[in-house]
Amino acid sequence: MQAKQKSLEAIALNNLEKPILLAGPCSAESKEQLLQVATSLQNSSTINMLRAGIWKPRTRPNSFEGVGEEGLKWLSEIQSELNLPVVTEVATAQHAQKALEHGIKNVWIGARTTVNPFSVQEIVEALTGEDVCVLVKNPIHADIDLWQGSIERFMKAGITNLAGVHRGFSSFLNSEYRNLPMWNIPIELQRRFPELPIICDPSHIAGVNNLVPTVAQKALDLNMAGLMIEVHPNPKEALSDPEQQLTPKDYNELIATLVIRDAKPESQLIINQLEELRAQIDKVDEDLISTLLSRMDVIRQIGQYKHNNNVSVLQLERWNEILTSRSELGSKLNMDDKFIKRLFELIHQESIRIQTNINSTK
Ligand code: PEP
Ligand code: MN
């Protein structure tokens, strides 16, 4: 195949149409494997970048740790032969320099690197002043400030062609997911950086291939800017993450069936109807707050009464009874009982705070 272009510019994330699509194997295994994935994806669905890891952060030694520098050669050949931008993980300043030497200007910072400000800073310094596109994955654990901090390190160095990548959060809890999505965290990141594209990585959230489509659709429903999905020509034989990778055929089918929703509807009718419903929500929320205020007034009276009569603030039996009866009422009214439980836990916490304050200020 003839080279169309020697070295591609870094992808300009803000110029891409949404959803931005990144796909490719967890790990680069051979040039043939990369070519196979790249051509099967390029034919039937658009991808903006081919992803492939060459330095693989593995939990335990003696597992496949990536092909290393040799893979950079394959990636840069694919990039120029197919005119298809590639993106790979860099975990050290040296990785970053090597990637640049090979004309790889799109890189991602892995979840295990984002947790370490020293490593991130070293990579920032290696990339400063270069034409690069950097995707910053969320840290392994649910620490939004750490995620924000890594992004800010790049911004501070003038590297603004950035995206966040939501790959879920490790947890001890038993869950159907490999990494809990905790959608409120990427939503909060978006609130803090309204202009930052946030791309979802359904593969590392799901951990199994059959959960990938649901997570991908949910990400688009939440108006995320794109998807990074692991695709392997023969997932079962993959040297890393075999359970979660899709075949090119499944990937192409998934992309064809995803529903892309309007972030900002243009139809005046839709805008007006949404406005009307939002006005109703505003009213309900006002009522909700004044109802809570009445509850807290009674809480204060009870607190005062307990204080005067030397009764302890926490009454475990009563608290159990509240939890059970409110969850039951919620279920009866077709509400999610777990939500009601969480809500009352929060309300009870605040009640306890108010009542203990009465004791300590008297
Ligand atoms: C990957 O994308 O292959 C990877 C290692 O991801 P993460 O850093 O999210 O675990
Ligand atoms: Mn992987």
283-311 pLDDT tens trace:
999 999 999 999 999 999 999 999 999 99
- Our answer on whether the CB atom of 53 is closer than 6 Å to any ligand 1 atom is yes
- What contacts 250, CB < 8 A, 6 or more positions away? 209
Give the number of the atom of ligand 1 that is nearest the alpha carbon of residue 228.
Answer: 2
Q: How far is CA 341 from CA 182, 313, 317, 327, 336, in A?
A: 18, 20, 16, 6, 9
Q: What is the pLDDT of residue 362?
A: 58
- Give the number of the ligand closest to the Cα of residue 56: 1
| Protein residue closest via CA to atom 1 of ligand 1 | 26
- What contacts 237, CB < 8 A, 6 or more positions away? none
Identify the residue with better confidence: 69 or 7.
Answer: 69
- Our answer on whether the CB atom of 110 is closer than 6 Å to any ligand 1 atom is yes
Give the number of the atom of ligand 1 that is nearest the alpha carbon of residue 204.
Answer: 9
Query: Does the pLDDT value for residue 6 go beyond 80?
Result: no
Expressed in percent and rounded to 5, the helix, strand and coil fractions of the chain are 55, 10, 35
Q: Mean pLDDT across the stretch 317-343?
A: 95
Residue 274 CA to residue 92 CA, distance in Å, equals 48
% of residues, the chain, pLDDT over 90: 90
The SS3 of residue 166 is strand
Residue 123 CA to residue 117 CA, distance in Å, equals 10
Query: Does the pLDDT value for residue 61 go beyond 50?
Result: yes
Q: What's the fold here for domain 8-257?
A: TIM Barrel (3.20.20)
Q: Residue 272 is which amino acid?
A: N
Query: Does the pLDDT value for residue 5 go beyond 50?
Result: no
**pLDDT 10s digits, 151-190:** 999 999 999 999 999 999 999 888 999 999 999 999 999 9
Q: Mean pLDDT across the stretch 276-283?
A: 96
Query: Does the pLDDT value for residue 1 go beyond 50?
Result: no
Neighbours of 260 (CB within 10 A): 11
- Our answer on whether the CB atom of 25 is closer than 6 Å to any ligand 1 atom is no
pTM for the predicted model, two decimal places: 0.85
| Protein residue closest via CA to atom 9 of ligand 1 | 111
Q: Which two tokens stand for residue 184?
A: 């409120």
Q: Which two tokens stand for residue 222?
A: 């939440």
Per-residue burial over 156-190, b if 16 or more Cβ lie within 10 Å, else e, is eeebebbbbbbbbbeeeeeeebbbbbbbebbeebb
The class level of CATH for 268-360 reads mainly alpha
Give the number of the atom of ligand 1 that is nearest the alpha carbon of residue 203.
Answer: 2
Residue 246's nearest CA partner among 198, 213, 295, 290 is 213
Q: How far is CA 215 from the centre of its chain?
A: 11
The SS3 of residue 23 is strand
Confidence of residue 227 (pLDDT cuts 50, 70, 90): very high
Distance 5 CA to ligand 1 centre (A): 29
Q: What is the pLDDT of residue 263?
A: 81
Q: How far is CA 353 from the centre of its chain?
A: 34
- Domain borders along the chain are 8-257, 268-360
Q: How far is CA 86 from CA 14, 79, 101, in A?
A: 17, 6, 14
